Amino acid sequence: MTSSADLLVIGAGPAGAAAAIRAARQGAKVVVFDKAPYGRDKVCGDGLTPRAVGALAELDIALDGAHHIDGLRMIANDTVRELPWPDNTRFPNHGAVWPRRRLDAALIDAAVEAGADVRWETEALPVLDGHRVTGVDAGGDRWAAPMTVVASGAPGKVAKMLGTDRVEGEPFGLAIRAYCESPRHADAHLEACLTLSDEAGTPVPGYGWLFPAGDGTVNIGAGALSTMKGFKKLNLNRLLDDYHEMVRESWGLGPYLERPRAWRLPMTAQRRHGAGWVAIGDAAGLINPMNGEGIDYGLESGMLAADLFLDDPATAPDRYHVAVGERFDSFLSTGRRFSFLIGHPWILKNGLRLAVGTQAIANITLQVMGNLVDGETPGAAGRIFRLTDRTLATADPVLRKTRAAA
Ligand SMILES: Cc1cc2nc3c(=O)[nH]c(=O)nc-3n(C[C@H](O)[C@H](O)[C@H](O)COP(=O)(O)OP(=O)(O)OC[C@H]3O[C@@H](n4cnc5c(N)ncnc54)[C@H](O)[C@@H]3O)c2cc1C
């Protein structure tokens, strides 16, 4: 027997939950499937930029459970810059740290409250009729709907079926994280160390982070881009151990509270829509190559997919493809070019010196990397973003040819 719904969602992370909240609140019959149990954790830094806080506000999610963050402490060798989140953008002037177990539960609880039917421990796979997705097979049942939202995170089985894997040769990231107790758990700043090196002393394009969760613990992690020389041999556990050792004293860090866990950060997707379906969040490769942020893009693309579906299910996938591209593609492709650039150790070292050289430039670096500016933003940050965009676009073929990765 086939059951039916208006909208089917594969994956109950931030992206899937955002789509479900938005559609269910407008009265759509929404069914969400997640193969994990309720309360599942997600390997993440738990950091929310002002843009993500803005997206949560758009969804009416109260930040009661989150730790308020005023800005970022950027560290490059001996230079330490404490930077407030800007207050001249269209986003709130604060961020947050919200451990994913709790953030994701708050989001999916809101979806249930809005009327979505969430089925845990139920793997869902798309049902294809030619190229059209007509619904899903889940837990022994078949479901049909005019549109299926693929919110299944970094590519796996669903991506193989729909051809949404990442684009070969384009950058992606890997990152690892753990939790530790720290007397500085309630710090009001995220901390990012931009000058990590691997065991051979090669500078790592990426960063080590300490994100205070306000609950007695901090999230400690490290991430790297695939454009790095020697990326395939990079030992993430060792990178994290070295970083832990580096910051142990200044943060009064205890040992890891659980085994450090690593996961992938997809930054491209071969496709993100087709007849009867759209992909959102990590499943669509929507991660910022400049800082590894993906929660906001998951929330924004989820809301966008639901709004277009509510408007007209038949044309929603095509319109989604255009709208998501207009919102994110130019920034993400600039970010990918940037990651080829910083894959070169010499450029990374000298670029960093420039990026944190003065407080004013570091403030602009923060705004550009946090995707808090765009081509329309006035002032110095907007000008620098437009200039960087144009320069990197011109240099792109050279950057790719001379890529440092081995
Ligand atoms: C170490 C690390 C640190 C990071 N730090 C940050 C950070 O600080 N801030 C930030 O913004 N981003 C960060 N990111 C990125 C962020 O974690 C992701 O962008 C975000 O989780 C994407 O949300 P999503 O809903 O698209 O996918 P996910 O959160 O991965 O959710 C996908 C869900 O789909 C389910 N699923 C998969 N396949 C199926 C199936 N076939 N059937 C049913 N269910 C299925 C999974 O169980 C999962 O619950 C980090 C990533 C990593 C790896």
pLDDT in tens, 183-204: 999 999 999 999 999 988 889 9
Confirm or reject: Cβ of 15 under 6 Å from ligand 1: yes
Closest listed residue to residue 317, CA positions, set 275, 264, 255 = 275
- Across the range 120-136, mean pLDDT stands at 97
Among residues 303, 331, 359, the one where a domain terminates is 331
Which pLDDT does position 403 carry in this prediction?
65
Number of other CB atoms surrounding residue 311 within 10 Å? 10
- Across the range 173-191, mean pLDDT stands at 97
One domain, residues 359 and 312: no
One domain, residues 291 and 339: no
One domain, residues 390 and 355: yes
Asked, for residue 145, whether it belongs to a domain, the answer is yes
One domain, residues 327 and 360: no
Rounded Cα distance, 360 and 86, in Å:
12
Confirm or reject: Cβ of 46 under 6 Å from ligand 1: yes
Q: pLDDT-based confidence at 80, cuts 50/70/90?
A: very high
Which pLDDT does position 369 carry in this prediction?
78
One domain, residues 319 and 338: no
- pTM here? 0.95
One domain, residues 381 and 340: yes
Q: State which amino acid sits at residue 126.
A: P
Which string of b and e fits 171-181 if b means at least 16 CB within 10 Å?
bbbbbbbbbbe
Calculate the dihedral angle through the C-alpha atoms of 353, 355, 358, 363, rounding to the nearest 10 degrees.
-160
Q: pLDDT-based confidence at 339, cuts 50/70/90?
A: confident
Asked, for residue 203, whether it belongs to a domain, the answer is no
More confident residue, 336 or 352: 336
- pLDDT tens string 223-267: 999 999 889 999 999 999 999 999 999 999 999 999 999 999 999
- For residue 209, what is the DSSP state? E
Asked, for residue 141, whether it belongs to a domain, the answer is yes
Number of domains in the chain: 2
Distances (CA, A) of 8 to 90, 137, 158, 378: 32, 11, 14, 40
Q: pLDDT-based confidence at 206, cuts 50/70/90?
A: very high
Confirm or reject: Cβ of 153 under 6 Å from ligand 1: yes
One domain, residues 381 and 289: no
CA of 241 to the centre of ligand 1 (A): 24
Asked, for residue 183, whether it belongs to a domain, the answer is no
One domain, residues 349 and 321: no
CA of 41 to the centre of ligand 1 (A): 9
One domain, residues 312 and 354: no
Give the number of the atom of ligand 1 that is nearest the alpha carbon of residue 122. 43
One domain, residues 322 and 353: no
**pLDDT exceeds cutoff 70 at 382:** no
More confident residue, 339 or 275: 275
CATH number, position 327:
3.50.50.60
One domain, residues 384 and 291: no
Asked, for residue 95, whether it belongs to a domain, the answer is no
Question: Rounded mean pLDDT of the chain?
Answer: 92
Secondary structure of 338-387 in HEC code, one letter for each residue: HHHHHCCHHHHHHHHHHHCCCHHHHHHHHHHHCCCCCCCCCHHHHHHHHH
Among residues 331, 357, 372, the one where a domain terminates is 331
One domain, residues 27 and 116: yes
Segments forming the whole domain that contains residue 378: 333-401
Confirm or reject: Cβ of 43 under 6 Å from ligand 1: yes
Q: Whose CA is nearest to atom 18 of ligand 1?
A: 294
Confirm or reject: Cβ of 263 under 6 Å from ligand 1: yes
Confirm or reject: Cβ of 281 under 6 Å from ligand 1: yes
Which pLDDT does position 361 carry in this prediction?
82
